[in-house]
Structure 1
Amino acid sequence: MQLPKPIKVNPIVDENPIFENGKEDQPLSPMSRLFHEPESNLYIVVMIGFKSKTNPDFVKANLGHSLLKQQISDIRYSSTIVSLVEDEKIKGGLKWVPTKVNLDNHVIVPNLEPKSIDSADKFVEDYVSNLSKTGIKMSKQPMWDLHLLNIKTSDAESVAVLRVHHSLGDGTSLVSLFLSCTRKVSNPEELPSNSIPPTSKEGDSRSYGIKGFWPYLSFKYFWFVFSLFYNTLVDAVMVIATILMFVKDSETPLKGIMGKASGPRRIVHRSLSLDDFKFVKNAMNTTINDAVVAVTQAGLSRYSIGNMGASERNNNLPKNIRLRAAIMKDLRSSGEVQELADTVKNGYKTKSGNKIGFVIFPFSIALRDDPLDY
């Protein structure tokens, strides 16, 4: 596992600056600059399936009225990134420079001949994989593009592939911006409703009497604080040990190679039913995230079977395989997510930016007789 290397940044602006009208040449936040480091130069690639063929002219017209409008969109999507090496105050920094956006350079429609394509699904996978091998020059145009593929796959009549540099924002802000560009089918002038179900504030007080409630609540808070302190201490020690190379992952085909993180990627797309995840979640009394992690661990374990000479009958996998991944975690509270939803609903300018952290997550690689054991 290869962790992002720390960088030195100047505390110039907030993590998620909101650009006001009339202000130009805003410096990048420290997190945005991190995503321009060679070791962590990341793009977000999103595949969107449609029930009908896409009309490029219609898409461009609506992008001009939604994505690029200042009252809805962040200026990041209409700005190039220029180096500040000549600036005396910010040596080697980067800044957003507003520019005129030519949608013809951002909405790409390749000339496809569906009859000459044997497998549409594999063609889309290869197309997305090729996008991961190239980048967008930050000084030439805003760092995003939309590829419209009018080809029928097993899941959709046409496909759109959105590629956005991670310095523009994280997944949550990107979803809120995407929703701001959509409208209801019942009312083309109305934004989609995106309300989050309110969480219950009654808690466990309904299940306990007056005498039994306070001792339980006190113990619950004590255990929460103790667990938080203990887990934070253990995680901090493990992160330091990993950075200092005292703790390494086991040598497996799944382990990343140091210095080759920017190599080509093979992207394989599969559709999963959310109802199936909900069924497993309810049956095991867990969360959706637990079900997703279980499926991931099962897939990695089965992959290891074929690549390490093991089999379901002959389990000769090494014991105690250490396999970890650096996973991004959204740091927004449920209230902040609701604020983004309200922002979209009211048509205000979205708060783009990155509010994420990294979590070192250990996977359990082993063969299980029962899939639910994962």
Structure 2
Amino acid sequence: MDSIPSLNTLGSIRTTKNGETFESFKKGADHEQPLSPMARMFHEPDFNFYIICIMGFKTKLSPDVFKENLVHTFLKNRRFSSLQVMDKENGSMKWIPTHVNIDDHVIIAKLNPNIKSPDKFVENYISNISRSHIEITKPLWDLHLLDIKTSEVEGTCVFRFHHSLGDGISLMNLLLASTRKVSDPEALPTLPGNKKLGAAKVASLWSTLSFLWNTCVALFMFMLTAVFLEDTKTPMKGSKGVEHRARRFVVRSVSLDDIKLVKRAMNVTFNDAVLGVTQAGFYRYLDNKTTDSPHNMRFRATTIFNLRSTTSINDFTDTDTDGTWGNKIGYSLLPFNIRPNKDPLDYVRDANASMKRKKASLEPMFTYYFTKLVHMLFGAKVAVKLIRKVLYNTTLLFSNVPGPQEEITMFGHRVAYIAPSCYGQPNALLIHVVSYMDKVMFVISVDEETIPDTHKLCDDIEESLRNIKASTQTA
């Protein structure tokens, strides 16, 4: 496969050799805005995260249509039309508006008409994207168009954003604001659970004490993990330097009705059902990888929580009057049940019990504000070292993102699936779960040196869902 072409330097801006300082950088200029502490952290060498969003389409891709619409959507947002410039004197960074040539950001894949396996080609192409970074001499985003038919779709596009532009929720909202319902071409899509979010509520002395206890225990474990407490070494635990290696991205869809059946039968949440299925799938995978049956191991996920007050789809601007933009996420450490269970439903029960404790605590909010405090007192390098150690000492990152409930189009192209993910994280395994129409996508990002058989892991998750579903029907 051809390597991903490098991005050209903007002709209107003169740069130094390393692209760090620009002729247009003038201290105190009215149009300059500083990067937030969280955004600045994502420029540290060992914390250089990128968000990607793979979208499959039921119709052939039209590059000119994408380019024309991106000019009127993405480029209305200052973050997508500004450079991120570093002040060498103090290490701070600022947004500086610049002229954007859309052709520098839309990359059309060169395709061999005699490709034997289009599915494998697309998978390899996306993996190859994770080997590269976007040059800081231009706004830190791009779009890759692969106008090739696979077994599931007529064409694939891959949006790539540097994490400093925003977190997954804000960037997903930007993408969805660029879509419309198939049933109503003028209407934005609808997201499930589109309501105000708030802190956990307590209704009695006992629940108040339980809330405080859960918070204290969670924070104690978080600090131990940041210092030394590491998960058990397993075939899914990454080694040092994993954040600098290429990733493999695999998307596996399951029936939304099957997940809902488990949810209703066990009276749990959607997240509980998904986590239970994932835990059961991990046990199946590790049981086949090791001579001894997995049990009594420390196996944890760093789960990502959205701290915004609302999850509604917003417009393209970044005025942030409602907290839409930025990196407003907290982390929570979630223990996984990786042991044999005679009853497959026990995996869902354990997930439900763990999530109840996490919801009755302030752990995500603490990790967010504590990281900002460390950054303010000691700088970005120390804050990154803290969070990176927590991520590395756990086994995986886990995130659940709600998607549209109805079929949508993007710039006139009918969307078959949406699959967000990341690379650059110090974990060998990252799972995003996103719902769309009647499907639930498990989007798996792995370090292939650690997990070379990603499709086998997907098979085990899918088989676990079948077993859990069958168990609910016989219970």
| TM-score relative to the length of structure 1 | 0.77
Deviation track 1:231-272 (CA, whole Å, cap 9, x = no partner) reads 111111112212221x22112111221343322222222122
State how far apart, in whole Å, the 2-side matches of 1:119 and 1:368 are: 39
Q: How is 1:312-351 mapped onto 2 (pairs within 5 angstroms)?
A: 316-333=292-309, 336-338=310-312, 341=313, 343-344=314-315, 351=324
Alignment pair present for 1:361 and 2:329: no
2:204 to 192, 197, 221: 221
Deviation track 1:122-168 (CA, whole Å, cap 9, x = no partner) reads 22211111111111122x11111111111112221111111111111
1:164 to 130, 148, 161: 161
Are the aligned partners of 1:125 and 1:269 in contact in 2 as well (CA < 8 Å)? no
Q: Report the counterpart of residue 288 of structure 1 in structure 2.
A: 270
Are the aligned partners of 2:107 and 2:143 in contact in 1 as well (CA < 8 Å)? yes
Are the aligned partners of 2:79 and 2:318 in contact in 1 as well (CA < 8 Å)? no
Alignment pair present for 1:254 and 2:236: yes
**Tell me, which stretches of 5 or more residues in structure 1 are unaligned?**
1-21, 201-217, 310-315
* 1:236 to 1:141, Cα distance in 2 relative to 1, 3 A: same
Q: Report the counterpart of residue 109 of structure 1 in structure 2.
A: 108
Are the aligned partners of 1:255 and 1:323 in contact in 2 as well (CA < 8 Å)? no
- The letter for the 1-side match of 2:262 is V
Q: Which structure shows the bigger proportion of residues in strand conformation? A: 2
Q: Report the counterpart of residue 422 of structure 2 in structure 1.
A: none
* 1:179 to 1:32, Cα distance in 2 relative to 1, 3 A: same
RMSD: 2.5
Shift of 1:94: 1.2
Secondary structure of the corresponding residue to residue 266 of structure 1:
strand
Secondary structure of the corresponding residue to residue 261 of structure 1:
helix
State how far apart, in whole Å, the 1-side matches of 2:213 and 2:318 are: 41
Q: Report the counterpart of residue 84 of structure 1 in structure 2.
A: 87
- The letter for the 2-side match of 1:366 is R
Q: Considering only CA atoms, is the larger Rg found in Structure 1 or Structure 2?
A: 1
1:41 to 39, 43, 48: 48
Secondary structure of the corresponding residue to residue 302 of structure 2:
strand
State how far apart, in whole Å, the 1-side matches of 2:263 and 2:244 are: 35
State how far apart, in whole Å, the 2-side matches of 1:198 and 1:133 are: 36
Are the aligned partners of 2:82 and 2:98 in contact in 1 as well (CA < 8 Å)? yes
Are the aligned partners of 2:52 and 2:160 in contact in 1 as well (CA < 8 Å)? yes
- The letter for the 2-side match of 1:50 is F
1:52 to 46, 55, 59: 59
Q: How is 1:1-374 mapped onto 2 (pairs within 5 angstroms)?
A: 23-69=30-76, 73=77, 75-86=78-89, 91-114=90-113, 116-138=114-136, 140-185=137-182, 188=185, 190-194=186-190, 220-245=203-228, 247-309=229-291, 316-333=292-309, 336-338=310-312, 341=313, 343-344=314-315, 351-374=324-347
Worse overlay, 117-126 or 54-63:
117-126
Shift of 1:349: 5.5
Shift of 1:367: 2.4
Shift of 1:366: 1.4
Q: Report the counterpart of residue 350 of structure 2 in structure 1.
A: none
Shift of 1:185: 4.4
Q: Report the counterpart of residue 463 of structure 2 in structure 1.
A: none
* 1:119 to 1:280, Cα distance in 2 relative to 1, 3 A: farther
Secondary structure of the corresponding residue to residue 338 of structure 2:
coil
* 1:110 to 1:193, Cα distance in 2 relative to 1, 3 A: closer
| TM-score relative to the length of structure 2 | 0.61
Give the share of equivalent positions with the same residue, in percent: 48
State how far apart, in whole Å, the 2-side matches of 1:369 and 1:297 are: 14
Are the aligned partners of 1:85 and 1:92 in contact in 2 as well (CA < 8 Å)? yes
Shift of 1:221: 3.4
